[in-house]
Amino acid sequence: MAEAPVEASTLPVTVKKKKSLSIEEKIDIINAVESGKKKAEIAAEYGIKKNSLSSIMKNKDKVLEAFESLRFDPKRKRLRTAFYTDLEEALMRWYRIAQCLNVPVNGPMLRLKANDFAQKLGHNDFKCSNGWLDRFKSRYGLVFRAQPAEASGVSVDPSTVWYQNILPYYLSDYHPKNVFNVKETGLLYRMLPTNTFAFKGETCSVGKLCKDRITLVVGANMDGSEKLPLLVIGKNKNPHCFKGIKSLPVHYEANRMAWMTSDIFEQWMQKLDEKFQAQQRRVVIFVDSSPAHPEVKNLKSIELAFFPSCLSSKFVAMKQGVIKSLKIKYRHCLIKKFLSSVEDSREFTFSLLDAVDTLHLCWSTVTSETIIKSYEEAGFKSQKEENDPANAERDPGLDLVTHALGAGVEFPEGLSIEEYAALDDDLETCEAVPNDESECTEESQPDETGFYTSDEEDDGGSLETELPLPSKNEALTALDTLKKFLRSQDMNDGLHNSLAELENFINPLPPK
């Protein structure tokens, strides 16, 4: 009797196990191919197919990068990298800073911090399992050992640790042009020195202390090559002097207290991040530790580095001369405008729009030498040589006093331009608690859009005397006058080009 046929599904199937190579073996294969050895012989030697060898050569750069990097063990057989790369970078920075501060770190602490970073970075699906933590430690070669106790028991100065360990760690990762510091400062933008200016022969003072305040946020990079656009925070979202204005030379935000808030900070960082992404740059921005400066999620090009709250302001570069220079220039311009009104027997008016334009002008004239020197004063090591003292900014105070005397106005005895510029340095600039919106007073009520308005006149003049916006023809006539004046001076090509751009902006030429 013939045997019943055996169904194909019941036949034993021999599955050839796929050959898995380590990174080290892949490097040997790449070297063999590049030395001219036949690919068929190499494939036979390592027990792999020709298409597998071709795949290795196709990914040669990745294999070499992995081999040269400390992130991978050469014996590893897979090049799988972490999915949450931003989380791992943040976690490693935190770990290394903890090491610099001699803070012992163990597995549970690392897991807790990983989950914390995941939440801040928007990785809501992340869970720090034992397996993930083991793989993370393996990728970075972390081994937790018992921390030796300090024999002397002497505490470490946080400032010394910051300067010697933490700051160099950041600076080693970023070129000076990509290292930024931002800092808020209060500004009483219409403030003339109370009881300091007086007409000759008169006993009454001129004007009164102007209580209109704004918060000004100043930022620049370490080599002085780039100044961030100023961020101005006022009390009113739509002040009367902005009527008809569609663009400003600064970023403008508003809240009832004219303070930096966590929402404003986050929105501003997102805008800056978009700018740096477009430039394909990776930058670090140093900011104060403050409730108004939260960790910002999903930043692609910006890493935020927070100054420890225990550090003094001497480590904040913008506080070492940049803000002072800007304020001195601003006060200088403000007083010159006031003196011009006195000379022409006109009422002195100065709106928030005037302040914005003046700030933008003054900010453009703060020199790179001033910025570099400020970073050096803050302990940031500059790659540039020491600045030539001849390039230092000249104090305009003497010229200002001479101008005031010539207009018949006495500059207050004993009050320097530096002291006048620093009168509002101690103004509060940040919210004490995030999103702190206490009840509004009768003088300051939110409108239907949620922005705060004020009964206080912010135009510096009467609403009834508002002038209409100039027409195109009037703008062209004014430009023609400007041309005649500038061409009577020794102009450079840049000014000529700017005049042409202005004219084309006002009255565009037809396309080809």
Q: DSSP of 60-128, one letter per residue?
A: HHHHHHHHHSTTS-TT----PPPS-HHHHHHHHHHHHHHHHTT----HHHHHHHHHHHHHHTT-TT---
- In tens, the pLDDT along 6-18 reads 454 454 544 445 5
- The neighbour count for residue 434, using CB atoms within 10 Å, is 15
pLDDT at 91: 87
> pLDDT value at position 18?
53
In 3D space, the residue among 298, 290, 244 whose CA is nearest the CA of residue 265 turns out to be 290
Backbone angles phi, psi at 184, to 5 degrees: -85, 150
Helices 397-406 & 322-343 angle (0-180, nearest 10): 10
pLDDT of residue 479: 77
CA distance 113 to 111: 5
Summarised one tens digit per residue, pLDDT across range 278-331 is 999 999 999 988 889 988 888 889 988 888 777 777 889 999 999 999 998 898
pTM over 0.85: no
Dihedral pair phi/psi, residue 355, rounded to 5°: -65, -45
Q: Are 224 and 392 in contact (CB under 8 A)?
A: no
- Pairing relation of β-strands 409-410 and 302-307? unpaired
Bridge-partner residues for 427, per DSSP?
none
Both tokens of 475, joined, read: 């703008």
In the predicted model, residues of the chain with pLDDT beneath 50 are: 1, 6, 8-9, 11, 13-16, 69-73, 81, 147, 149-154, 195-210, 383-392, 398, 433-465
**Residue 77: per-residue pLDDT:** 52
CA atoms in the 13 A half-sphere facing the CB of 147 = 11
Position 384 scores a pLDDT of: 41
d(CA 209, CA 200): 20
